[in-house]
Amino acid sequence: MILSLPNIIHKMNIEYKGVNIFYTDSGKGHTMVLLHGFLENSNIWSPFVQDLSKKNRIVCIDLLGHGKTECLGYVHTMEQMAECVEAVLKHLRIRRSTFIGHSMGGYVALAFAEQNPDALKGLCLMNSTASADNAEKKRNRDRAILAVKQSHKTFIRIAINNLFRPKNRKLFKSDIKKLITEAQETPLQGIIAALEGMKIRQDREALLHFTPFKKMMIASRKDPVLNIENLRAQTQGTAVKLVEFPDGHMSFIENKEELSYTFMHFIENL
């Protein structure tokens, strides 16, 4: 009997503009770039990497001010984060890849796509949106910054809990505790810089209409952050495949099995 051994996950850093950018690299084949969301890090992709890396090369990157990647400034724009991603891919000599971005990671993937449209074979926005913050959401970002400054650990605990569908908070209690523990290692500067960057990000809905690469959006009907009707409207008249889940913002935990199947189906015919 031939045993299939798991791919080795290489953990590495590169220096970009004087800061260390952390990433992991595993598998061979077409490259998939996985980008985490706000208050997260590349560890969120761990349950999916072994399966995805059987036929693909999987690169997971800690975005600026998150995980093991250092802060670059007091505002981390989505464009700056995308430039860090580009630096990693250039270092690895990867020319074309498929991006999957969760929440803020989706905003970064869109910024990268705008800067490097020919470098993508596919783009999946997972619990994310191509639209910019409206006035109310910008005010909420400012409130969040004040709350972070008062007590960033309290802010993190409340913020992460609130991203889950209420009935799932008990069901995934241990997963949530682990997320909170890791998120509380995020430096105050990294949290505020990301909030400031998300607040000023550009609207990139045009990319859903006028780009040639394969596109998919994963949306959740009980997402407390993103309105499902708005996401449905974004995909109308586009070639974007919309996949809907029944739960909250954290699909990588709340809908893990369905998500793994969706990823595999998305990359089948790239």
- What is the model's pLDDT at position 9? 85
- What is the model's pLDDT at position 210? 94
Question: Once rounded to an integer, what is the mean pLDDT over residues 210-226?
Answer: 97
Residue 83 has pLDDT above 50, yes or no: yes
Could you give all domains of the chain from N- to C-terminal order, each with its CATH number? Answer: 10-267 (3.40.50.1820)
- What is the model's pLDDT at position 1? 40
The 10s digit of each residue's pLDDT in 130-177 is 999 999 999 999 999 999 999 999 999 999 999 999 999 999 999 999
Confidence grade of residue 219 (pLDDT, cut at 50, 70, 90): very high
Confidence grade of residue 6 (pLDDT, cut at 50, 70, 90): low
Closest CA to 218 of 235, 237, 197: 235
- What is the model's pLDDT at position 97? 97
The 10s digit of each residue's pLDDT in 90-143 is 999 999 999 999 999 999 999 999 999 999 999 999 999 999 999 999 999 999
Sequence-distant (≥ 6) Cβ neighbours of residue 210 within 8 angstroms = none
Percent of the chain scoring above 90 in pLDDT: 94
CA–CA gap between residue 153 and residue 70 (Å, rounded): 19
Percent of the chain scoring above 70 in pLDDT: 98
DSSP the chain: ----PPPP-EEEEEEETTEEEEEEEE-SSEEEEEE--TT--GGGGHHHHHHHTTTEEEEEEPPTTSTTPPP-SS---HHHHHHHHHHHHHHTT---EEEEEETHHHHHHHHHHHH-GGGEEEEEEES--SSPP-HHHHHHHHHHHHHHHH-HHHHHHHHHHHTS-TTHHHHTHHHHHHHHHHHTTS-HHHHHHHHHHHHTPPP-THHHHH--SEEEEEEETT-SSS-HHHHHHHHTTSSPEEEEESS-S-HHHHTHHHHHHHHHHHHTT-
The 10s digit of each residue's pLDDT in 245-262 is 999 999 999 999 999 999
CA within 13 Å, CB half, 167: 3
Question: Once rounded to an integer, what is the mean pLDDT over residues 47-70?
Answer: 96
Mean pLDDT, all residues of the chain: 95
Higher pLDDT, 2 or 41: 41
